[in-house]
Amino acid sequence: MRIGKILSVFAVALLVVSCNKNGAQNKSLKTATDSLSYAIGMDVARNVGSTFQEEFDHDLFYQGYRNVVDSSDVKIDQTLVQGIIQSYMQKKQQEAMAKQQEEAAKKAEEQFGEHKAAGEKLIAENIAKEGVQTTESGLQYIVLEEAEGDKPTAADRVKVHYHGTLFDGTVFDSSVDRGEPTTFGVGQVIKGWTEGLQLMSVGSKYKFFIPQELAYGAQQRGQHIKPFTPLVFEVELIEIVK
């Protein structure tokens, strides 16, 4: 149940039954309205419990409700209420997503541990090859053609031609093979691309060797890119799209 719905149902429940918790507990169910009121209270309690668990303070909820109804001693500016609720829900969603990603990465490492080690070995050995330069993040690149044009920022959109392969030469994606360049935001692609494109001037052509942590990490991407796979791209920066 969404937060707005939870709070709306809570309000309905409190309008139907007394805010005096002890009084509500001692009332018997004599009419259909009594049963409805009690059932709403049960349903709200179950949903609040599953959403907020131990973090929800029922006493403060009742207090906040009564303070607004009575227009007395309201402790939070009304303009801040939605922001507080949204910030809390966003934080919980981020925590849940981070936990899910962590669990997925752990599972992938158990299944693809040998593949990860092999990829790390390829990246480590590649450093010694002629012309290879390495950035602080671990991105490796060779300048195939240099130019004197402008360099894009992470906020720019660019048009490029690229040819993507695994270290063994298996092609998994190529605008060159399709015969049509592609346009995208520099900050909307994998980390290795975002960093690498900002090294390039318009008109230049680089070859990137991207470690798995700057590529797709523990994610499986299509048929060829298994979790923890390092990638190789030849990239020609055609223009910065205005």
Q: So which residues are the catalytic ones?
A: 162, 172-173, 190, 216, 233
Eight-class DSSP state of 129: S
Axis crossing angle, helix 32-52 with helix 3-16, rounded to the nearest 10: 150
Contacts of 123 (CB under 8 A, 6+ apart): 138, 140, 209, 211, 230
Is residue 192 exposed (0-12), middle (13-18) or buried (19+ Cβ within 10 Å)? buried
Burial environment of residue 20 by CB neighbours within 10 A (0 to 12, 13 to 18, 19 or more): exposed
Nearest to 194 by CA among 205, 184, 204: 184
The amino acid at residue 183 is: T
What element of type H or E holds 162?
strand 157-165
Q: Largest Cα–Cα distance in the chain? A: 87
